[in-house]
Amino acid sequence: MATDYQPINCSFYDELEALATSRQRCTLVYRTEPDTPPSTYSGVITDLFLRDKVEYLRLEDGFEVRLDNLLAVDDKELRDYC
């Protein structure tokens, strides 16, 4: 999805940081293309980082996702934090 990055809510970012710090396995629900069904991926968050002014998270297996593509993490929906 080649759209301009939309920063996520700070409270949701704090949730992601807490998961990364605790190294607990989590389930991500995300969408990379508009009007497509969401995808799910599980793993341990090892890093939250910036690349070209866009925030990402990385799982221990190397999987990366833009934070503004996230819909939910462990049943906590991003839209509930807006």
Q: In one letter, which amino acid is 11?
A: S
What is the pTM for the complete model shown? 0.88
pLDDT band, very low/low/confident/very high, at 82 (cuts 50, 70, 90): low
Q: What percent of the chain has pLDDT over 70?
A: 96
Would residue 64 count as lying in a domain?
no
Nearest-5° Cα angle at 26, 16 to 78: 50
Answer yes or no: is 48 within a domain.
no
**Is the CB of residue 41 less than 8 Å from the CB of residue 65?**
yes
Count the domains in the chain. Answer: 1
Eight-state DSSP code of residue 71: E
Domain that holds residue 4: 1-32
* Per-residue model confidence (pLDDT) at position 63: 98
Residue 24 belongs to a domain: yes
Do 45 and 63 touch, CB atoms closer than 8 A?
no
Mean pLDDT of 28-32: 94
Confidence of residue 75 (pLDDT cuts 50, 70, 90): confident
